[in-house]
Structure 1
């Protein structure tokens, strides 16, 4: 099927039509679940970041620094997404493809399409758990990010290339922010843990693994590494 919409790849418009048509043929409960999940998944990912902070309170300074930097990376990626959107000002598919019936209500004009903010947020939010945790926990967040990206097309508010761009942006920005700020953030966490009034935010009151408690409530790490 040809596409006459400016700045939209033909293949993306075709996939959009196919996915939204598939969505309309799914059971009602699936469509309802998708409509809820497309906004709920970012909340779940944010909850994972909060859990990461809580869990890191028993970890070393570097782990806590990464846990606190993860939301910073997400906000940075989101703002970058908003900046790109405001410059490109590309249309949502449901504005131009008026013959397509969508699961979700089409966003108002001025809420631009590329890149997808939801996909950007999800990809950036998935980086933190992937860095901090191992095993199943490190896989769940990236899977949620992919599901979030697909759901944005499924409910009809984005083209596939919108969400692909969002995933790419989030996956690129977060890994840049984390290592760039890791050293100063680690030093800050170390200083905060030496101050009782601030330590409650970044420590449990028990020595992190590999550390012993000594004099005046300070944590002294092992020599080496």
Structure 2
């Protein structure tokens, strides 16, 4: 793969120059903005998205509250696992950063000395996005959009080839989806146990969220019956 990087005739390098070339013509303030967004901003946005998704599913309540919160918890866990899986992949492929072989690139971030394939940022954001998609479609779609923007930013900044980003998309998706059944099998009983707790049950279901009769029996909640209201009157 390093050999491919040395040739300017392959589509990967051509697309790298097309996207990074936008940085050469853009105002400096815009480049600084992309640098912050691509390095830190989108990671912060993904963290806020996880919190927002958790807040939404716990307020929604219903019998799917515990599994939905379990899916939200899985999203950042999937990202962490995907990044760990990427460690041996990077060492095995050993692909230099694009600016090592192409010194005329406009590099917006300095100090990158590790290998290029696969992009950690693309891997992390994609794993979170796909994990959230399992829990809540709308939040997941927003996350996928942010992951795509992250991938573009990494190439724009001159620190990754397009194929590094595509590899990150594939790795993050694979980890989040393939390990999801096992994760849900382990996390759902935990969230259900927390849901039944008087002290911390609000982490799974907001106060006032709807309880079905069957759920009330399981959690020990009391459901007011019409005849009870008549007797009270």
- TM-score, length basis structure 1: 0.83
SS in 2 for 1:41: helix
CA contact (8 A) 1:119 1:145 kept: yes
Superposition map of 1:143-154 within 5 A: 143-154=145-156
The residue number in structure 1 matching 2:52 is 51
Per-residue CA deviations over 1:70-96 (Å, capped at 9, x if unaligned) read: 111111111112231122221001122
The residue number in structure 2 matching 1:17 is 17
Root-mean-square deviation over aligned CA pairs: 2.6
Q: Using the TM superposition, give the Cα deviation of residue 196 of structure 1 relative to its aligned residue in structure 2, in angstroms.
A: 2.7
SS in 1 for 2:3: coil
- Which deviates further from its counterpart, 159-168 or 72-81? 72-81
Query: Which residue, out of 169, 173, 176, partners 2:175?
Result: 173
SS in 2 for 1:196: coil
- TM-score, length basis structure 2: 0.81
- Which deviates further from its counterpart, 208-217 or 53-62? 208-217
Q: What are the ranges of 5 or more consecutive residues in structure 2 without an aligned counterpart?
A: 223-233
CA contact (8 A) 2:78 2:175 kept: yes
Q: Using the TM superposition, give the Cα deviation of residue 13 of structure 1 relative to its aligned residue in structure 2, in angstroms.
A: 1.6
CA contact (8 A) 2:79 2:128 kept: yes
Q: 1:219 to 1:123 in 2, by over 3 A?
A: farther
| Number of aligned residue pairs | 215
CA contact (8 A) 2:23 2:156 kept: yes
Q: Using the TM superposition, give the Cα deviation of residue 27 of structure 1 relative to its aligned residue in structure 2, in angstroms.
A: 2.3
Q: Using the TM superposition, give the Cα deviation of residue 106 of structure 1 relative to its aligned residue in structure 2, in angstroms.
A: 5.0
CA contact (8 A) 1:17 1:100 kept: yes
Q: Which has the higher helix share?
A: 2
CA contact (8 A) 2:69 2:135 kept: no
Q: 1:16 to 1:132 in 2, by over 3 A?
A: same
CA contact (8 A) 2:134 2:140 kept: yes
The residue number in structure 2 matching 1:193 is 195
Q: 1:154 to 1:194 in 2, by over 3 A?
A: same
Q: Using the TM superposition, give the Cα deviation of residue 208 of structure 1 relative to its aligned residue in structure 2, in angstroms.
A: 4.3
Q: Using the TM superposition, give the Cα deviation of residue 215 of structure 1 relative to its aligned residue in structure 2, in angstroms.
A: 7.2
Distance in structure 1 (CA, Å) of the matches to 2:107 and 2:117: 18
CA contact (8 A) 1:106 1:156 kept: no
The residue number in structure 2 matching 1:130 is 133
CA contact (8 A) 1:129 1:138 kept: yes
